Amino acid sequence: MIRKLALTAVAALALSGVAAMASEEIEVEDVDFSFEGPFGTYDQQQLQRGLQIYTEVCASCHGLKFVPIRTLGDEGGPGLAEEAVRAYAEQFEVYDRELDDTRPAKPSDHFPESSLDNAPDLSLMAKARKGFTGPNGLLINPLFKGQGGPEYIYSILTGYTGEEKEVAGSTFYENKAFPSGWIAMPPPLVGEDVEFADGSSNELEKEAEDIAAFLMWTAEPKMMARKQAGFVGVLMLVVLTSLLYLTNKRLWAPVKGKKKSA
């Protein structure tokens, strides 16, 4: 029995060591996003730029099937006007069971699904990759440095080295942020891929940061509301704790202040 436990412990340590080595090989950069930290908020202009990048570059392969198009006009999101949301929706075709045919999408519809079987849906990508906990692996880092998903997306988009190789007739591209080091997706962004109406920089790093922020919003559209609710909750607990302390002190002060008679 003791021998089995010892072998199990050794195996667990070996696996953890391999996992640690693998995580060290992945180069995930820490990006200073505006929504990080307990008081961070989404940058509306950045979300609009990310939406443009997704529409012009990513949507040809990847979908956002869990995201209703109407949320593009929600407060805390890209903040598009109602007319703009309606016009944006109409560029997509959706299947209508009642018509038994396709029709232009409405704001109440969701974004289309991925058009390729090997192209993952991006709706929850930023949440699915939240394992990154920041430099040194400190568990407190997600509170101050973000959850890791946007950083992972940013690092993947900027981690291509330019090296390629063929395996069984498929082309793979070297990427410093991908776990195996080689990824089947060719570089989706190379810089200057889109022209922004506000004149913002369209360098590769800026584009990657904008689309990563947008994908974080698709995964956590109510993040700001949760932060506000959490702040109010903490404030109420502080006030309640103070009142309980003062009440307890007032009730027991006369009792504790009495001296025992000889």
Beta strand 160-167 pairing with 101-104: unpaired
**What are the percentages of helix, strand and coil residues in the chain, rounded to 5?**
50, 10, 40
- The 3-state DSSP class for residue 212 equals helix
Neighbours of 40 (CB within 10 A): 16
Residue numbers of the domain that contains 151: 23-44+122-240
The confidence score (pLDDT) of residue 138 equals 52
User: pLDDT per residue over 17-69, tens digit each?
Assistant: 434 334 446 778 888 899 988 888 999 999 999 999 999 999 999 999 999 99
Residue 162 domain-assigned?
yes
Q: How confident is the model at residue 118 (pLDDT cuts 50, 70, 90)?
A: confident
Alpha carbons 206 and 191: distance in angstroms, whole number? 8
Domain count, the chain: 1
pLDDT tens digits for range 85-109: 999 999 999 888 888 888 999 999 9
Asked whether residue 214 is domain-assigned, the answer is yes
Region for residue 136 given its phi and psi (left: phi exceeds 0; alpha: psi -120 to 50; beta: otherwise):
left
In a domain, 203, yes or no: yes
> Which residues, 6 or more positions from 231, have their beta carbon under 8 angstroms from its beta carbon?
38, 39
CB 43 within 8 A of CB 34: yes
SS3 101: strand
The answer to whether position 149 is within a domain reads yes
Pick left, alpha or beta for residue 182 (phi over 0 → left; psi -120 to 50 → alpha; otherwise beta): beta
User: What distance in Å separates the CA atoms of residue 58 and residue 86, rounded to the nearest whole number?
Assistant: 20
* Contact (CB, 8 A) for 202 and 49: no
Judged by DSSP in three states, 59 sits in coil
**CATH number, domain with residue 226:** 1.10.760.10
Q: Which of 50, 49, 87, 48 is nearest to 70 (CA)?
A: 87
Residues 6 or more apart whose CB falls under 8 angstroms from that of 134 comprise 30, 141, 142, 144, 145, 146, 148
Highest mean pLDDT: which of 25-34, 210-219, 247-256?
A: 210-219
**74 in a structural domain:** no
- Dump pLDDT digits (tens) for 120-147: 999 999 888 765 554 444 555 555 555 5
The answer to whether residue 231 sits within a structural domain is yes
Amino acid at 223: M
Residue 115, pLDDT > 70, answer yes
Q: What is the DSSP letter of 58?
A: I
For the sheet containing 182-183, what is the strand order?
A: 160-167, 170-175, 182-183
At 146-204, the pLDDT tens digits run 557 899 999 999 999 999 999 888 899 999 999 889 999 999 999 999 999 888 999 99
Identify residue 220 by its one-letter amino acid code. Answer: E
Burial class (CB in 10 A: 0-12, 13-18, 19+), 185: middle
- Residue 261 within any structural domain of the chain: no
Q: What angle do CA 213, 219, 222 make, to 5 degrees?
A: 95
Q: Does residue 31 sit within a domain?
A: yes
Using CA atoms, how far apart are residues 56 and 67, in angstroms rounded to an integer?
Answer: 17
